[in-house]
Copies of this chain bind each other. A is one copy, B any other.
Amino acid sequence: MKKMNTNEIEAALKNLTGWELKNDMIERSFTFKDFKEAFSMMTRIAFECEKQQHHPNWENVYNNLTVKLSTHDANGVTQKDIDLAKTIEDIVA
């Protein structure tokens, strides 16, 4: 899986909502009603991550969730991250 350059990433992010490139990862934060809603959503996302065999760096504090995606083996953002970002926003939408 090939590491994308900044132009390629920025172009891909135009087809997504709310993701931004930060420190060689794509990142988005979500706010839910409460912890139960946040963790329920994380659970749905977790199953998809496992299916795609691609996993996020994510942080949860009560009703807030921040997701950061990059591809460890490529040392940067790849199409796998763009695909997972799309999956995540479809789940949350």
Interface hits, A6-60 → B, CB 8 Å: 35-36, 39, 42-43, 46, 49-50, 55-60
Copies, count:
2
Interface residue tally for chain A (C-beta within 8 Å)? 16
Contact A59:B62 (CB < 8 A) given known A46-B39, A49-B35, A50-B35: no
- Give Cα A35 to B43, complex, Å: 12
Is there contact, CB below 8 Å, between A35 and B55?
A: yes
Enumerate 21 A-B pairs (CB-CB under 8 Å) in ascending A order: A35-B46, A35-B49, A35-B50, A35-B55, A36-B50, A39-B43, A39-B46, A42-B42, A43-B43, A55-B61, A55-B62, A56-B60, A56-B61, A57-B59, A57-B60, A57-B61, A58-B59, A58-B60, A58-B61, A59-B59, A59-B60
